[in-house]
Amino acid sequence: MSRMKRDWIWMTAAVLLAAPALQAQRAPSVGYVFPAGIQRGTDTEVVFGGQGLADPVGVICNAPGVKFEILGHSKPLSNQAASEVRDRLKPLAPKLDQMRAAHDATRAQLLTTARFLLREEGILLDELRQVHELERQRNDPKRQLNSQIAETVRVKVTASAEAEEGVFLLRLHTEHGLSNPLRFVVGRHVEDSEPPPPDEFDLLRFLKMHPADDDGGKLQAVVPELPATVNGQVLPGEVDEWHFEAKEGDQLVVSAAARGLIPYLADAVPGWFQAVVSLHNEAGEELAFVDDYRFDPDPVLFYKIPATGRYQLRIRDSIYRGREDFVYRLTVGQLPFLTGIQPLGGQGGTEVDVSFMGGNLEDQRKKRMPLPEVSEAEMVELHVETTAGRSNSVPLHVSPLPDEAEREGNNEMGSANRYNPPVMVNGSIHEPGDIDFYRVKGRGNQPLLVEVFARRLGSAVDSSITVFDVYGNTIGFNDDHEDPSAGLTTHHADSQVAVKLPSNGDCFVLVADTQVQGGPANVYRLSITQDEPRFALRVTPASVTARAGSSAKVTVHALRAGDFAGEIKLKLEGAPKGFSLGQATIPAGEEKAEVSLTVPGAAIAQPVALTVVGTGDGIKDPVTAVPAEDMMQAFIYRHLVPVDALMVDVLPVKDVDESE
């Protein structure tokens, strides 16, 4: 055998032997957390489901006042390992038989004795739980093991009474890296989770014990005293049912969060848990049914209770799919709920009088809002507070442009409102068939950008824009314009048109609703500006793991606009010593670049947040890259979903050897 051939064989063997170690240290991936929220001032146990979750050490979360404690990790057992656990139980058989004969023993007494016996034999509850899960997967045709969510980590979550309310992001931190972020809610209402099904792990049932105070079946799911939030998971074919008491005249609001918790599922069509909710009386008769809220897949039900009594809420997937990651939260009660605001925004650095629309708002109908100074448009989340609690949040669009209001009576070119760019106009389609004309005086032979902000702001308007010259000739049209920066939008109903103005600089802009709808909810903001080269940046993934002294790959996406096609230079801004991107660039005309992120030579105990910025010729200020997750929807579509931060976990070098 030649030396070259012998060396090639040894190199191949080394690669094959090293592969398990490299795979073993892969960063964790989390598919769901259940329950996906907590009431402030309480503690609860949650479960992370995913893969590569071994050796968890903590949870990284941007929720102030919330603490996490790791309780344990479980991974599906092989058939052989399950048999070994069963064999270790055999010496306990005589003592277990004696326990079964004690028919008057209570659940508490039996649990105390069983746990003592298991400790004597060195058998862990997690081992029995895994045996039970393996048998359940094998015996239930509806349950198919999905390796991507097969591992679990149990975590105790404690929220202080002063914890901030809202939707936050959390990541599981293990000795082998940092997981992707998931949404987690901190609220003020009493919380409850669905009772475990009969086949959920129960130590006494697993050991075939029958305590005197055991009803042997699934407990009825009861909503706590309203208002309350209840949590559940829908499995294949399941319809979850919740019972509650209500009084005549109650203005009931039932708000579901499903897609709002897990925006996209890669291996499910339409790409998320499509929840439907129905309300029933005590006899089971359906009183109301909802499968969405306007264009939001998560349903909201509004109902005035006709008579004091007991009612039922049912929630399921629209086509009866299900899995452990079909997680939901139902918030029920006479809750404040915002259906919209007017206007949808204002100019930064000014004050605007915002009118709130919705139900159960008490006296919270109007408020003067000071708006922050901004250099570019951004969203501010608004909500109202009542004696019943905090409403849902709606976005307010804050722009640096001068703000104007549409003047009605502009349904024809001859009565068009006149504006000089740059300007932001607050308009409305006040009735079905209403159309709005605007006459614009810009710079001759220069590019003009006209854009509607409506659906992205929660408005019902499905806009179209038509641009005419002064002779009535169409020079631009758009119905739906895809905005890649709106990562949670799947129907891009807002419009955008870029045109070159005639030599005299005059044009007419027509805004209409393509569905010929109209009313108080059909409001919009119309941006009219000089079109200029520009770009935005997204960096993925938002959780990065690397060994000390090495590098990891991140992808920086360029969202180009205004004919900007130049090279974009990238760098880290304000990063701790040892972090660098080197001479990273996105080449001219390219939409993304894979970049090496170098990390320090020594491990860091906690993940570090980094900021990536980009510069380009002709672009005045550096552009900050928004951290995002590159998520797949329904096997094919991809979305850049913005998150809180780019977090980097730097592992010790010895982690490679330990993972073997």
Which range marks the domain in which residue 460 is found?
403-531
Residues 599-607, mean pLDDT to the nearest whole number: 96
Radius of gyration of the chain (CA): 29
The answer to whether residue 116 sits within a structural domain is no
Same domain, 392 and 421: no
Q: What DSSP letter does each residue of 176-196 carry, written as one string?
A: TEEPPPEEEEEESSEEEEPPP
- Which tokens hold the place of 631? 């998520």
The answer to whether residue 90 sits within a structural domain is no
Q: Which of 95-109, 434-448, 457-471 has the weakest average pLDDT?
A: 95-109
For Cα atoms 249, 251, 253, give the angle at the middle one, nearest 5 degrees. 150
CA 43 to CA 190: how far, in whole Å? 12
Amino acid occupying residue 158: T
- Which tokens hold the place of 290? 């909802």
Residue 4, pLDDT above cutoff 80: no
- In the block, which residue shows the tokens 């009183």? 287
Under 8 Å between Cβ of 495 and 481 = yes
- Which tokens hold the place of 630? 């590159």
The pLDDT score that the predictor gives to residue 11 is 37
Same domain, 455 and 509: yes
CA 623 to CA 611: how far, in whole Å? 11
CA 435 to CA 569: how far, in whole Å? 44
Band the pLDDT of 209: cuts 50, 70, 90: confident
Domain final residue pick, 374, 399, 424: 399
Same domain, 511 and 546: no
Candidates 37, 361, 364; CA nearest to 188 is 37
Q: Which of 6-10, 23-27, 258-262, 325-329 has the weakest average pLDDT?
A: 6-10
Band the pLDDT of 523: cuts 50, 70, 90: very high
Same domain, 376 and 497: no
Higher pLDDT, 136 or 534: 534
The pLDDT score that the predictor gives to residue 22 is 36
Same domain, 426 and 472: yes
DSSP E strands, 385-542? 385-386, 389-390, 394-399, 403-405, 417-419, 423-428, 436-441, 447-453, 463-468, 474-478, 496-500, 506-513, 523-530, 534-540
- Rounded to 5 degrees, what are φ and ψ at 551? -140, 160
- In the block, which residue shows the tokens 């203005």? 251
Give the distance, in angstroms, between the CA of residue 345 and the centroid of all CA atoms in the same chain: 24
Residues 192-210, mean pLDDT to the nearest whole number: 76
Amino acid occupying residue 491: H
How long, in residues, is the chain?
660
Same domain, 423 and 521: yes
The pLDDT score that the predictor gives to residue 120 is 87
The pLDDT score that the predictor gives to residue 366 is 94
Q: Which of 10-14, 423-427, 587-591 has the weakest average pLDDT?
A: 10-14
Domain final residue pick, 360, 377, 399: 399
Percent of the chain clearing pLDDT 70 (strictly above): 92
Same domain, 365 and 462: no
Same domain, 42 and 164: yes
Same domain, 422 and 521: yes
The answer to whether residue 596 sits within a structural domain is yes
The answer to whether residue 218 sits within a structural domain is no
Same domain, 526 and 554: no
The pLDDT score that the predictor gives to residue 325 is 96
CA 176 to CA 27: how far, in whole Å? 6
The pLDDT score that the predictor gives to residue 101 is 84
- Rounded to 5 degrees, what are φ and ψ at 78? -80, 165
Residue 429, pLDDT above cutoff 80: yes
The pLDDT score that the predictor gives to residue 537 is 98
DSSP E strands, 309-402? 309-317, 327-333, 337-342, 345-347, 351-359, 366-370, 378-382, 385-386, 389-390, 394-399
> Per residue in 221-251, pLDDT tens?
888 889 999 999 999 999 999 999 999 999 9
Band the pLDDT of 194: cuts 50, 70, 90: confident
Same domain, 519 and 621: no
The pLDDT score that the predictor gives to residue 527 is 98
Amino acid occupying residue 490: T
The answer to whether residue 375 sits within a structural domain is yes
Contacts 24+ apart (CB under 8 A), 106-115: 106/211, 106/212, 106/213, 107/204, 107/211, 107/212, 107/213, 107/214, 109/211, 110/204, 110/209, 110/211, 111/203, 111/204, 114/203, 114/204, 114/207, 114/209, 115/203
Amino acid occupying residue 541: P
The half-sphere exposure of 463 on its side-chain side, counting CA atoms within 13 A, is 33
Strand order in the sheet with 378-382: 345-347, 394-399, 378-382
Under 8 Å between Cβ of 333 and 252 = yes
pTM reported for the whole predicted model = 0.86
Same domain, 417 and 563: no
- Which tokens hold the place of 129? 């739980």
DSSP E strands, 482-611? 496-500, 506-513, 523-530, 534-540, 543-547, 551-561, 568-572, 584-586, 592-598, 608-610
Residue 3, pLDDT above cutoff 60: no
Query: Which residues are CB-contacts of 378 (< 8 A; sequence separation ≥ 6)?
Result: 398
For the chain, how many structural domains are there in total? 4
The CATH number for 170's domain is 2.60.40
Band the pLDDT of 648: cuts 50, 70, 90: very high
CA 647 to CA 576: how far, in whole Å? 13
CA 200 to CA 188: how far, in whole Å? 29
Residue 48, pLDDT above cutoff 90: yes
Residue 138, pLDDT above cutoff 90: no
Domain final residue pick, 399, 415, 441: 399
- Which helix (H) or strand (E) segment holds residue 572: the answer is strand 568-572
The answer to whether residue 208 sits within a structural domain is no
Residue 12, pLDDT above cutoff 80: no
The CATH number for 583's domain is 2.60.40.10
Residues 66-70, mean pLDDT to the nearest whole number: 98
The pLDDT score that the predictor gives to residue 197 is 59
Under 8 Å between Cβ of 62 and 607 = no
**Whole-number mean pLDDT of the chain?**
90
Residues 104-127, mean pLDDT to the nearest whole number: 86
The CATH number for 424's domain is 2.60.120.380
CA 528 to CA 425: how far, in whole Å? 8
The answer to whether residue 549 sits within a structural domain is yes
The answer to whether residue 23 sits within a structural domain is yes
For Cα atoms 643, 531, 503, give the angle at the middle one, nearest 5 degrees. 170
